[in-house]
Structure 1
């Protein structure tokens, strides 16, 4: 991890390429972000994100219930706390044969690079103990984030006194401090 990598995490991420082939500007802006789906809605269709069918069901019915967690940059204390909670919850909901019989799937979505995400996962407590009903998907180009209505965070979200106080609390009370940021953006 270099100083340049750490500093680049403070720049806002580039939006994904526009789907409109006739557009002169090849970037989407915040106005192009669809609304956040509601519980019970069909999930947005994104090639990188697949959902598992219900156990013992092959009729093409709805997918099994799934909990998604969109992580901040790998290295962020909030991302770490979210992932640790997601992993523990996934353990509590795995089936007797781990993934095949799980009632609920869990997916953590990272916008850091695959290498940075793997390095970060290996640095976490109890690395490698993820249950089979927990997957990590790398979405470095932010397609999944955008499809699910997540844009770039504002200053008050990232640098508010409350957010910074919570970072301090996570570190001082739970030992979860900021880790080196190899890729990703603090603004996601």
Structure 2
């Protein structure tokens, strides 16, 4: 974790963002700003994680318009809460990505973000990012959690308002969950790798 101190003439957020831009991050790793004074490096995803990301991407590509993309290494910023995330998947319009004045992309332009929970990201994905995405606001947050204490689950958070999501639907691995418009697609979780297939 990299500690950041504000520089003279810069806000804390501008300083953190500038520091983040100058980082030399190892291949496959990700750098995220998860709180007001630090930058965290995130290790490359595991193979089960990649399988889940691929299956979700395939379902989304079958339904989104041609001017939308499903991105796995897209940085999105949440300046209102001074954070910057690299979600496991983001659905966003191409015109936002191609606008050089909007780098990193604003989180409120995302139509859907997906986080696939790993052992090390449980608290971050379930709490911190849930809070951040609700504040952005991102209209749909899909949390895929093989490590849920009640059993592997998928939760769709909807209707952000007042800094929280006002509706959530949870299904167990093996069930189907419907993503609403603009997707209107049923996501089949039956082939998601369970905890026994993840590295120990």
Scaled by the length of structure 2, the TM-score of the pair is: 0.26
Q: Which one has the largest radius of gyration? A: 1
Scaled by the length of structure 1, the TM-score of the pair is: 0.27
